[in-house]
């Protein structure tokens, strides 16, 4: 899950590469490096640590001269973060330099072969084999060489390659890892994601697997592995560079939390027309929906948690059986898929390796695939039969917030849509449902207005050793997300439990002073939650409860209460997650953690 960038043009390359990498750090940030052609040969500068270390070393790129270069920000897979393992990697004799995002699965075999041929390896990475293999095949024609190399590689890659003999071009190619080409008058770019090139251009090529691109200052040629030229359409990015900037906020995460009402509006409103839910990107209608007898939702991380809420609401409203699976599990089991199965794939990036594999596995078994994706033109978006975009805008903080919320709003849209298409609801019921959904953004605004209360609770509990999140029904599903948010950015151990399940073992971990965050937003389950809160209180827990305004009975059992504005049970998850995001955020800030780039993580997980 690294970030790569390449540039050739009229400007000095190094400052542009470093600037581009700064927009890709969310993909990995344990080391960074650049390779620039300086007129005589390829100069590589790289080091362990954040990009800032490299920027300081290179005077923000000003100390490296040259107008052609490639750069990399790393999330270690093969070999610990170290100067040597950082990219770019060079071939023997310094002829070819490579940056790579992905994993080369057969690298050991290639490595052994190359060692026999006399190549000397200096790093523990899989990537180094690409540099040496390119040198081994080098025929004087770099395009031909790259084609030979990728024909030998198994696994996933997005590559940027420069060759000393070609001082005016670099080669870019991808398979199962994202890569875009940026086109501008002053030069051309390759990058793992659009924000890296957005300060320079909005004109993009989205690449397909194994398209090989020769990128020159005033020309970009895309071809296939038979060297046939492929004509690409220019994709115009329609969002602003500011959308991927902090805009005065201290952290991206906080900015993105506060953007949620807007993101919810943008995702929901265009899908409501003439008193109906209209989903333009999907072609399953009426009878097709009636025909679905089983839905699998597959995703990873927070997107999986969205799926868990989705199961509750889709089953409740549309009466279709739903199973939720972690993509990494789904891909290796034998799911029962028939031609009546719908596979719903949820992914912010649209590039998560396990989710892509699950999608392909589902398709192979005959399922129809409907995906919910934030990044336009991403792999999952392109490989799905039906597609619903979340309009969250670029999300930069590693811990997702607005992508989660918009994905959840799509679950509401889908559940309502299925019910509508199956004829399970009257026009009046649909109108009422739509009214509830359209209230969401303003209710979310209300919740966020109370951020200082959450900040106060964070100041009381930032030193907790363990935190338990409990809830029933959809509250349990939201607990999963609240717990993940807290642990990933504050490094406090936390677990989420279905409140009724706690007593089957985990309650033994509750002791004097343990913090339990209890979600009790569901009217029908409120009394049950009161009992569960009493159970943990009896073992010494300190309880911070989340309830809907008016349910003041909770104050008799909980130590403190966060109230959500009055809302229907069904949409409470969309509101309940907001204080939990803020709670995790403020605790992370108080503990002086790196909020936007928590340790060991990356936002886009493009390796298995
Ligand atoms: C990573 C991110 C999570 C995200 C998950 C799935 O682990 O840190 O925030 O939920 O990947 O990513 P996706 O892009 O598929 O939603």
Q: Ligand 1: which residue has its CA nearest to atom 3?
A: 301
- Is 86 touching ligand 1 by the criterion CB < 6 Å? no
Closest Cα to residue 565, out of 580, 579, 583? 579
Q: What CA–CA distance (Å, rounded) separates 386 from 295?
A: 14
- Is 306 touching ligand 1 by the criterion CB < 6 Å? no
Closest Cα to residue 193, out of 407, 381, 406, 349? 349
pLDDT grade, residue 603 (50/70/90)? confident
397 in the same domain as 490 = no
- Is 515 inside any structural domain? yes
- Is 162 inside any structural domain? yes
- For 220, the domain range is 3-102+157-238
- Is 252 inside any structural domain? no
For the chain, what percent of residues have pLDDT higher than 70?
100
Whether residue 607 is predicted with pLDDT greater than 80 in this model: the reply is: no
527-534 CB contacts, 8 Å cutoff, 24+ apart: 528/472, 528/499, 528/500, 529/470, 529/471, 529/472, 529/475, 529/499, 530/554, 530/557, 532/470, 532/472, 532/499, 532/500, 532/502, 533/557, 533/558
Query: Do the Cβ atoms of 72 and 20 come closer than 8 Å?
Result: no
Ligand 1 atom with the shortest distance to the CA of 407 = 16
Q: What CA–CA distance (Å, rounded) separates 484 from 488?
A: 6
pLDDT at 244: 74
Ligand 1 atom with the shortest distance to the CA of 399 = 9
pLDDT at 168: 95
Reported as a single tens digit per residue, the pLDDT across 352-390 is 999 999 999 999 999 999 999 999 888 999 999 999 999
DSSP reduced 3-state for 457: helix
Ligand 1 atom with the shortest distance to the CA of 375 = 14
- Is 303 touching ligand 1 by the criterion CB < 6 Å? yes
Q: Which of 419, 438, 457 is the last residue of a domain?
A: 438
DSSP state of 338: -
- Is 121 inside any structural domain? no
- Is 407 touching ligand 1 by the criterion CB < 6 Å? no
Ligand 1 atom with the shortest distance to the CA of 403 = 16
Six-digit token string for 242? 């500011």
Q: What CA–CA distance (Å, rounded) separates 561 from 545?
A: 5
468 in the same domain as 326 = no
Residue for token pair 């026999």 = 116
Average pLDDT score, the chain? 95
pLDDT grade, residue 19 (50/70/90)? very high
Instruction: For the beta carbon of residue 293, count every other beta carbon within 10 angstroms.
Output: 12
The CA 409 to ligand 1 mean position distance, Å, reads 17
Whether residue 2 is predicted with pLDDT greater than 80 in this model: the reply is: yes
- Is 114 inside any structural domain? no
Establish whether 2 is a catalytic residue: yes
95 in the same domain as 193 = yes
The CA 598 to ligand 1 mean position distance, Å, reads 13
Reported as a single tens digit per residue, the pLDDT across 546-590 is 999 999 999 999 999 999 999 999 999 999 999 999 999 999 999
pLDDT at 600: 85
- Is 401 touching ligand 1 by the criterion CB < 6 Å? no
Q: Ligand 1: which residue has its CA nearest to atom 15?
A: 347
Q: What CA–CA distance (Å, rounded) separates 493 from 106?
A: 36
Q: Which of 438, 464, 494 is the last residue of a domain?
A: 438
Ligand 1 atom with the shortest distance to the CA of 398 = 8
pLDDT at 594: 93
Query: Do the Cβ atoms of 473 and 297 come closer than 8 Å?
Result: no
Active-site residue, from 23, 46, 311, 603: 603
- Is 371 touching ligand 1 by the criterion CB < 6 Å? no
- Is 378 inside any structural domain? yes
Ligand 1 atom with the shortest distance to the CA of 400 = 9
Active-site residue, from 2, 55, 163, 567: 2
- Residue scoring higher pLDDT (602 or 497): 497
The domain that holds 403 is classified in CATH as 3.40.50.10490
The domain that holds 17 is classified in CATH as 3.60.20.10
Of the chain, the end-to-end C-alpha distance in Å amounts to 10
Reported as a single tens digit per residue, the pLDDT across 427-469 is 999 999 999 999 999 999 999 999 999 999 999 999 999 999 9
- Residue scoring higher pLDDT (87 or 506): 87
Q: What CA–CA distance (Å, rounded) separates 506 from 448?
A: 32
Least confidently predicted of 22-31, 189-198, 448-457: 22-31
The CA 28 to ligand 1 mean position distance, Å, reads 13
Q: Ligand 1: which residue has its CA nearest to atom 2?
A: 603
Q: What CA–CA distance (Å, rounded) separates 320 from 343?
A: 12
DSSP reduced 3-state for 605: coil
User: According to DSSP H, which parts of 138-269 are helical?
Assistant: 142-152, 252-258, 260-268
Residue-wise over 98-114: b if at least 16 C-beta within 10 A, else e?
A: bbbbbbbeebeebbeeb
474 in the same domain as 339 = no
Reported as a single tens digit per residue, the pLDDT across 73-126 is 998 888 999 999 999 999 988 999 999 999 999 999 999 999 999 999 999 999
- Is 213 inside any structural domain? yes
pLDDT grade, residue 28 (50/70/90)? confident
To test the ligand 1 pocket, which listed residue (1, 300, 346) has its Cβ within 8 A of the most ligand atoms?
300
511 in the same domain as 378 = no
90 in the same domain as 216 = yes
Whether residue 409 is predicted with pLDDT greater than 90 in this model: the reply is: yes
- Is 466 inside any structural domain? yes
In angstroms, the Cα distances linking 191 to 22, 40, 77, 467 are 12, 25, 20, 39
Beta bridge partners of 155: 104
279 in the same domain as 213 = no
- Is 300 touching ligand 1 by the criterion CB < 6 Å? yes
Query: Do the Cβ atoms of 377 and 388 come closer than 8 Å?
Result: no
pLDDT grade, residue 604 (50/70/90)? confident
Strands of the sheet containing 542-548, edge to edge, are 493-498, 466-471, 515-520, 542-548, 560-564
- Is 597 touching ligand 1 by the criterion CB < 6 Å? no
Closest Cα to residue 135, out of 181, 173, 98? 98
In angstroms, the Cα distances linking 26 to 20, 382, 600 are 12, 23, 11
Q: What CA–CA distance (Å, rounded) separates 272 from 277?
A: 5
353 in the same domain as 433 = yes
- Taking residues 132-153, what's their average pLDDT? 96
- Is 349 touching ligand 1 by the criterion CB < 6 Å? yes
Residue for token pair 């409501």 = 272
Establish whether 528 is a catalytic residue: no
pLDDT at 76: 86
Task: Detail the DSSP E strand segments found in 167-261.
Answer: 169-175, 180-184, 187-191, 203-206, 212-216, 220-223, 235-236
CA triple 273-269-342, angle to 5 deg? 80
The CA 491 to ligand 1 mean position distance, Å, reads 18
- Is 398 touching ligand 1 by the criterion CB < 6 Å? yes
For residue 560, give every residue at least 6 positions away whose Cβ sits within 8 Å of its Cβ, in sequence order, or none: 457, 460, 543, 544, 545
Reported as a single tens digit per residue, the pLDDT across 508-542 is 999 999 999 999 999 999 999 999 999 999 999 99
In angstroms, the Cα distances linking 42 to 38, 45, 46, 138, 139 are 6, 10, 13, 16, 19
301 in the same domain as 224 = no
The CA 304 to ligand 1 mean position distance, Å, reads 9
Task: Detail the DSSP E strand segments found in 472-541.
Answer: 493-498, 515-520
- Residue scoring higher pLDDT (53 or 77): 53
402 in the same domain as 331 = yes
* Number of domains, the chain: 3
The CA 601 to ligand 1 mean position distance, Å, reads 10
538 in the same domain as 389 = no
In angstroms, the Cα distances linking 142 to 127, 131, 161, 215 are 18, 12, 9, 12
Q: What CA–CA distance (Å, rounded) separates 207 from 173?
A: 8
367 in the same domain as 328 = yes
């Amino acid at each position: 899950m690294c970030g790569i960038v390449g540039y050739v043009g009229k400007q000095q390359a190094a400052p542009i590469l470093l600037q581009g990498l700064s927009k890709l750090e969310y993909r990995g940030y344990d080391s960074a490096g650049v390779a620039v052609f300086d007129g005589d040969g390829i100069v590589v500068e790289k080091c362990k640590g954040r990009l800032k270390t490299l920027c300081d070393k290179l005077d923000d790129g000003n100390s490296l001269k040259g107008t052609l270069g490639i750069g990399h920000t790393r999330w270690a897979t093969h070999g610990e973060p170290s100067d040597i393992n950082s990219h770019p990697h060079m071939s023997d004799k310094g002829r070819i330099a490579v940056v790579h995002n992905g994993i080369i699965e057969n690298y050991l075999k290639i490595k052994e072969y190359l060692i026999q041929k006399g190549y000397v390896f200096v790093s523990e990475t899989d990537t180094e084999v690409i540099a040496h293999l390119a040198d081994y095949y080098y025929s004087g024609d770099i395009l031909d060489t790259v084609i030979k190399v990728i024909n030998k590689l198994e696994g996933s890659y997005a590559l940027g390659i420069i060759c000393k003999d070609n001082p005016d071009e670099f080669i870019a190619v991808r398979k199962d890892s994202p890569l875009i080409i940026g086109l501008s008058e002053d030069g051309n770019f390759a990058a793992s994601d659009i924000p890296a090139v957005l300060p320079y251009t909005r004109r993009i090529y989205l690449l397909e697997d194994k398209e090989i691109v020769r990128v020159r200052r005033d020309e970009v040629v895309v071809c296939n592995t038979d060297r046939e030229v492929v004509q690409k359409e220019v994709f115009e990015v329609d969002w602003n560079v500011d959308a991927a900037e902090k805009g005065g906020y201290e952290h991206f995460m906080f900015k993105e939390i506060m953007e949620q009402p807007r993101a919810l509006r943008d995702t929901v409103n265009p899908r409501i027309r003439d008193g109906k839910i209209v989903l333009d990107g999907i072609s399953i209608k009426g009878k097709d929906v009636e025909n679905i007898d089983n839905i699998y939702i597959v995703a990873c991380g927070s997107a999986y948690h969205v799926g868990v809420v989705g199961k509750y609401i889709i089953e409740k409203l549309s009466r279709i059986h739903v199973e939720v699976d972690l993509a990494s599990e789904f891909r290796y089991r034998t799911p029962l898929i028939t031609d009546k199965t719908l596979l719903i794939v949820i992914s912010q990036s649209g590039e998560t390796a396990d989710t892509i594999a699950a999608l392909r596995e589902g398709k192979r078994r005959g399922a129809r695939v409907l995906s919910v994706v934030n990044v336009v033109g991403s792999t999952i978006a392109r490989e799905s039969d039906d597609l619903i975009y979340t309009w969250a805008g670029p999300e930069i903080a590693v811990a997702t917030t607005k992508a989660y919320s918009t994905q959840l709003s799509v679950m509401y849209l889908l559940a309502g849509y299925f019910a509508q298409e199956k004829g399970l609801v009257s026009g009046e019921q649909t109108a009422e449902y739509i009214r509830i959904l359209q209230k969401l953004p303003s209710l979310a605004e209300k919740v966020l207005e109370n951020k200082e209360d959450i900040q106060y609770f964070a100041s009381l509990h930032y030193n907790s050793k363990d935190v338990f999140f409990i809830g029933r029904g959809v509250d349990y599903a939201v607990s999963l997300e609240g717990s993940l948010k807290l642990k990933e950015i504050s490094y406090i151990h936390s677990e989420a439990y279905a409140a009724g399940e706690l007593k089957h073992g985990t309650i033994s971990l509750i002791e004097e002073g343990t913090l339990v965050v209890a979600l009790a937003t569901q009217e029908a389950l409120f009394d049950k939650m009161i009992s569960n809160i009493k159970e943990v209180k009896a073992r010494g827990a300190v309880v911070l409860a989340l309830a809907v305004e008016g349910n003041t009975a909770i104050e008799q059992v909980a130590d403190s209460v966060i109230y959500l504005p009055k809302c229907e049970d069904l949409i409470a998850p969309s509101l309940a997650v907001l204080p939990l995001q803020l709670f995790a955020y403020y605790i992370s800030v108080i503990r002086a953690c790196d909020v936007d780039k928590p340790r060991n993580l990356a936002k886009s997980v493009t390796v298995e």
